[in-house]
Amino acid sequence: MNVLIVGARGAGKTTLIRRVLESLGRPVSGFETEKEGDQVHIYDAGAEHVPTEENLVGLCGETRGFPVKEGFDRYAPRILAPVKAGSVMIMDELGYLESSSELFCRAVLERLGGRGPVIAAVKDRDTAFLSSVRSHPGCRCFFITEENRDALYEEVLDFVKKTVPDNCSVMGRPGRGKTLKICFYKAFFSPYLHMEDAWCFLSATDGQEERCMAGWL
């Protein structure tokens, strides 16, 4: 089950997501948007924020923002790109500007219905796209306000830990000096999957070398 942190501007969506990710301690993929002056840019999560014309997705007026559709169109394929096994994808954030790009909206909804997990910050606005996100069967909404955000952190973290168990078993071959670690993640994925299906990653360690493979059991 994916997690949506829904709230108004300034409610603390991004801060809560960062706190949860820090507690989880897992690799992160996905994207972040940032307002810089009168412009909004989109970046890969964790990447250096260097504003360019290529990653420009919005312009800010005195009372409202204006989307740069071409920027969202360019970024859309990255949402569906393969991610590192065991990572958590963040979408920070999803708002009304994204509705200008059908490619971007389709990519987000497809990712939410695929192999997760996703934690997204979602503006509490009424657009067709945001309504589709909030009502997605693969998502659980948590509504954040300035008053409840501290308590909500514990609730979200508890939910994630319960629905994304990190059950690991370690197996080794005597005399080979190798350890094979198998980590299973079940309930955080698409609701269309059966519970007996599990995404896993196998990490074979031999000295300082580590090789990772991913697949279905």
Express as a percent the part of the chain with pLDDT over 70: 75
Q: What is the residue extent of each domain of the chain?
A: 2-163, 167-216
Q: What is the pLDDT of residues 20-58, one digit of tens each?
A: 999 999 999 999 999 999 999 999 999 999 999 999 999
Q: What is the pLDDT of residues 77-86, one digit of tens each?
A: 999 999 888 8
Report pLDDT for 21. 95
Give the mean pLDDT of 59-74: 94
Measuring CA to CA, how many Å separate 147 from each of 16, 44, 143, 206? 13, 30, 11, 50
Tokens (6 digits) for 181: 């670690």
**Residue with tokens 């509504």, as numbered in its chain:** 143
Q: What is the pLDDT of residues 87-120, one digit of tens each?
A: 899 999 999 999 999 999 999 999 999 876 999 9
Q: What is the pLDDT of residues 172-206, one digit of tens each?
A: 333 444 333 434 434 343 333 333 333 333 333 33
Would residue 122 be called left, alpha or beta, if left means φ above 0 and alpha means ψ between -120 and 50 degrees?
beta
Note the CATH architecture for domain 2-163.
3-Layer(aba) Sandwich (3.40)
Q: What is the pLDDT of residues 160-169, one digit of tens each?
A: 888 764 533 3
Does the pLDDT value for residue 76 go beyond 80? yes
Which pairing describes strands 39-44 and 178-185: parallel, antiparallel, or unpaired? unpaired
Cβ neighbours for 200, distance < 8 A, ≥ 6 positions apart: 182, 183, 184, 185, 214, 215, 216, 217
Q: Which of 10-19, 134-143, 156-165, 197-206 has the lowest mean pLDDT?
A: 197-206
Query: If residue 118 lies in a helix (H) or strand (E), which one and from where to where?
Result: strand 118-123
